[in-house]
Structure 1
Amino acid sequence: MPSHRAGQEQAGPARRARQARHARRARWLARAALALVLAAVGLLIAATDLGGAIVAVLIAVAALALAAVGSWWALTHHGAARAAGVLVAIGALVGMVLLYANSTVRWLIALGAAVAWAAAIACGRAALRADRAEQGAPVLRTPAPRRPVLIMNPASGGGKVEQFDLVRKAEALGCRVILLDPAHHQDVAALARQALADGADLLGVAGGDGTQALVAGVAAEHGVPFLVISAGTRNHFAMDLGLDRDDPSRCLLALTDGVELRVDLGEVAGRTFVNNASFGVYAEIVQRPEYRDAKASTTLDQLPDLLTGYAGARLTAHIDGTVLAGPQAVLVSCNPYDTGWYGAGRRPRMDTGKLGVIGLTVRGAAQAADLALRGEQSGALTTMTADEVVVTADTDTVQAGVDGEALTLPTPVRCRILPGALRVRVPRERPGVPEARRSVDWRRLGVLALALPGKSTEAKSTEAAVER
């Protein structure tokens, strides 16, 4: 098996030039963001008068809190009560706008302040993106596979295998294709091991993330590269690898013009996962028979009862020595998500060697409002990274969702990270991961805005790591 550093593209003049361009762009965008913040504050003061500024701020905070409570009410109730919550949330925001609209001039100035603030946020995020550039996982140059084997599920993703003619296209590139029979359960891990015994030097999957994870575990165990084909429903793993989710056939370009990435794998109760393992509220939803056919509607329908009357196992999570007692939900991901609760975030790196941990504990409308207003800073949300997470419960077994698959696992459930365990072969050119929405780090923007011309601290450390 080639080493992690074999074929790695070394930092050279071209890389240093890119880093310098990104650093300059980050500095000027950070300065623009801070200038726009000052403009927004000045316009807001002008719109509300100096004497009324404090009252205006109090009105805004009250309106936002009421909107958050209304949103919580909508999430935790059904029927007319849910509609009432939606009306309260919308009414609070509309009322806040109307209070500021008592004069045309004041309204226009306030609108200008909002535009300036939105532009400041956009510039701030762009500055942080530029500051983080050139920090991706190292790319490895390795020989193309000679005997690739692809396992395809024709039922996955609503029939994407047939829709994109994946079998014919793969066979035209010299692949052996194993087509699963949706009418009968098949052990895909056993199929993958048999393919290796028959001489395969690459394993790939066109199917959902759960199937991807099982075959990826076999590939990692035997040190052969793994090919991801985005033929599932959501394709979270493919998305975080930067693959094309609109046209799965483009993933096959990895066979003719491909490179390798070394990424981590997660393991829960001895089973590998590529995205996450969830316990508590979300795991309860995944267990519903109707979830597979209608994920969004099932989640929305079941969430109120689960959040307000969760009667499942009482969980305790032991996170590298830290104890999280009684959370309603625990999400353990292979590498931390960028931001937000489950499904909202993306993983900017797949090789950190750390598990991401998100714990949710909401005990009523007050905590829900705090979560809505403060986001990741809320006391209702616990976010950590860890090498190992052990989930225990007051029952002998606990329900879990592992890469979207419903499982029942004996307690305690041990989750761990397998750093750099998986060789993933990907196309050289990929659409990339859309930048996840995230909180703007204003302190970092201040550092960037005041920085002298030269490389950023992150760029220097990245280049030093590559050269080592």
Structure 2
Amino acid sequence: MSSTRRNLARLAFCAAAAAVVLVLAVAGVRAGLALILAALLGSAAGLGAAWWFLTHRGVQRWLAGVVVVLAPLTVTVFYAQQRLLWVVILFGVLWAAAVAAGRRALAEPGDGPQEFETPAPRHPYLIMNPRSGGGKVERFRLAERARELGARVHVIDEPDVDVAELARQALRDGADLLGVAGGDGTQALVAGIAAEHGVPFLVISAGTRNHFALDLGLDRDDPSTCLDALTDGVEVHIDLGLIGDRTFVNNASFGAYATVVQSPAYRDDKVGTTLDLLPETLAGQNGPQLELHVDGVTVTGPQAVLVSNNPYATADIAGLGQRPRLDQGALGVLAVTVHGTADAARLVGGRGRSRSVLIRTSTTAVVEATTPEVPVGVDGESILMPSPVTCAIRPAALRVRVPRRRPGVPPMLPEMDWTRLRRLAWASRRD
């Protein structure tokens, strides 16, 4: 066990203890406990009001919004009246330091996928979407740079282009590598074709969020560096997700998110559409009722189900973070079932997840709906699929060519677990 991790764990406990002692010492034990209780009550009120805001409309929603704003403000004013605002600020700094040190102590060092030395492609074919990522293709001169490196490039210059047919035709014409500069949905589509024909795939981080590129350790700030793989690259073999007969590289989502993005109004007004549809969606009144089957466990009525190509960090219940590996040969399966304001407050506050959240790692998962078709968000794109929907993993299905020199996957900080942290802090040097 690393002495650095042990020391970080001990630092976390010292900072947490110092935060509590600070309040009790400055305000006195009785007053200090009252101040801590006020902060806890304010947090609970704010979290409960946030859930009320999402699940109601009209006057009730905006009253809840007022409480969301006033709850922390009231606690701050209360501390200021006691002339202890500086204590609150210092308490927050110490507690933030405790959590940061604790999560770094709990982070397990991981190795990336095995790299394979392979010859550079002789006939690479790249598909580029100039509208993706706010125009990164043009801004970074990706098409010109790729052609200078010997690649054939197709820049999508009209709507409703059949990207899959472009990729298949390129293979018929002798392409020995397929690549995409675009969003994760297009990446997934072409990646499935590359895997089907056993040719390597090149990811160019020209999308908006670039989740797939993040988990491959690519440079998301400068997508032109991804082109280095054409001349100085290595291959990694990673898994692919399968939903029905469709490939996904990141995740497939059911329930609240999928129902919202299915709305025709979502593209033009994301925030307004989300707020308008969430009340019925979270209450189970909008969209089909779901039932998840995974590893012999059945979850009835979850508001949201996320099935990912390899598991996300345990602290990430929305699939917005990162996956430490893409070659574990397993799906990450997560279902969220919230029965009311109390469950929501515990969930948002990081407590009560064992009751509201199911987390599993499996090779298959089945989602059934009470309707013949169910909305699914597949790598950010909304589609309708016949129920039941089966998700599976395809281990090591995709050969990805990546630059030899790349940033790498950033360290993943796990959810704070004080029990594990205590064991780590006082473990012997021989452990």
Aligned residue identity for 2:295: D
Residue number in structure 2 paired with 1:27? 6
Checking the alignment, whether the CA contact within 8 Å between 2:104 and 2:413 is kept in structure 1 is no
Kindly indicate whether residue 180 of structure 2 is the aligned counterpart of residue 205 of structure 1: yes
Q: What are the ranges of 5 or more consecutive residues in structure 2 without an aligned counterpart?
A: none
Checking the alignment, whether the CA contact within 8 Å between 2:106 and 2:413 is kept in structure 1 is no
Residue number in structure 2 paired with 1:393? 369
Compute the displacement of 1:242 (Å). 2.2
RMSD of aligned Cα (Å): 2.5
- Among 41, 55, 59, the alignment partner of 2:38 is 59
Q: Deviation digits for residues 173-213 of structure 1, max 9, x if unmatched?
A: 01111233433331x23332332232222111111111111
- For 2:324 and 2:351, the matched residues in 1 are separated by 19
Residue number in structure 1 paired with 2:250? 275
Compute the displacement of 1:401 (Å). 1.3
Q: Deviation digits for residues 18-54 of structure 1, max 9, x if unmatched?
A: xx9xx34323222222221222222232234223454
- For 2:196 and 2:64, the matched residues in 1 are separated by 51
Kindly indicate whether residue 339 of structure 2 is the aligned counterpart of residue 363 of structure 1: yes
Compute the displacement of 1:364 (Å). 2.8
Cα gap change, 1:70/1:358 in structure 2, threshold over 3 Å: closer, same or farther?
same
Kindly indicate whether residue 296 of structure 2 is the aligned counterpart of residue 321 of structure 1: yes
Residue number in structure 1 paired with 2:165? 190
Kindly indicate whether residue 133 of structure 2 is the aligned counterpart of residue 152 of structure 1: no
Residue number in structure 2 paired with 1:96? 75
Checking the alignment, whether the CA contact within 8 Å between 1:370 and 1:378 is kept in structure 2 is no
Which TM-score applies when normalising by structure 1? 0.84
Cα gap change, 1:66/1:378 in structure 2, threshold over 3 Å: closer, same or farther?
farther
Checking the alignment, whether the CA contact within 8 Å between 1:390 and 1:415 is kept in structure 2 is yes
- For 2:160 and 2:181, the matched residues in 1 are separated by 17
Residue number in structure 1 paired with 2:92? 114
Residue number in structure 2 paired with 1:125? 103
Counterpart mapping for 1:153-232 below 5 A: 153-186=129-162, 188-232=163-207
- For 2:105 and 2:57, the matched residues in 1 are separated by 42
Aligned residue identity for 1:93: P
Kindly indicate whether residue 215 of structure 2 is the aligned counterpart of residue 240 of structure 1: yes
Residue number in structure 2 paired with 1:460? none
Kindly indicate whether residue 231 of structure 2 is the aligned counterpart of residue 256 of structure 1: yes
Checking the alignment, whether the CA contact within 8 Å between 1:264 and 1:418 is kept in structure 2 is yes
Aligned residue identity for 1:177: V
Cα gap change, 1:286/1:376 in structure 2, threshold over 3 Å: closer, same or farther?
farther
Checking the alignment, whether the CA contact within 8 Å between 2:178 and 2:201 is kept in structure 1 is yes
Cα gap change, 1:45/1:141 in structure 2, threshold over 3 Å: closer, same or farther?
farther
- For 2:233 and 2:202, the matched residues in 1 are separated by 10
Q: What are the ranges of 5 or more consecutive residues in structure 1 without an aligned counterpart?
A: 1-19, 458-468
Residue number in structure 2 paired with 1:266? 241
Checking the alignment, whether the CA contact within 8 Å between 1:210 and 1:403 is kept in structure 2 is yes
Which TM-score applies when normalising by structure 2? 0.91
Compute the displacement of 1:152 (Å). 1.7
SS in 2 for 1:351: coil
Checking the alignment, whether the CA contact within 8 Å between 2:346 and 2:352 is kept in structure 1 is no
Q: Deviation digits for residues 63-110 of structure 1, max 9, x if unmatched?
A: 221111111122223455433222212322222233344443x54444
Residue number in structure 1 paired with 2:349? 373
SS in 1 for 2:29: coil
Compute the displacement of 1:125 (Å). 2.3
Checking the alignment, whether the CA contact within 8 Å between 1:310 and 1:328 is kept in structure 2 is no
Cα gap change, 1:79/1:248 in structure 2, threshold over 3 Å: closer, same or farther?
farther
- Among 397, 404, 408, the alignment partner of 2:384 is 408
Compute the displacement of 1:399 (Å). 1.5
Q: Which moved more, 1:58-67 or 1:425-434?
A: 425-434
Checking the alignment, whether the CA contact within 8 Å between 1:264 and 1:422 is kept in structure 2 is yes
Checking the alignment, whether the CA contact within 8 Å between 2:106 and 2:414 is kept in structure 1 is no
- For 2:57 and 2:411, the matched residues in 1 are separated by 34
SS in 2 for 1:200: coil
Residue number in structure 2 paired with 1:7? none
- For 2:109 and 2:44, the matched residues in 1 are separated by 37
Aligned residue identity for 1:247: D
Cα gap change, 1:294/1:246 in structure 2, threshold over 3 Å: closer, same or farther?
farther
- For 1:380 and 1:372, the matched residues in 2 are separated by 11
Aligned residue identity for 2:289: R
- For 2:268 and 2:224, the matched residues in 1 are separated by 24
SS in 2 for 1:379: helix
Residue number in structure 1 paired with 2:47? 68
- For 1:380 and 1:411, the matched residues in 2 are separated by 24
Checking the alignment, whether the CA contact within 8 Å between 1:46 and 1:109 is kept in structure 2 is no
Cα gap change, 1:438/1:89 in structure 2, threshold over 3 Å: closer, same or farther?
farther
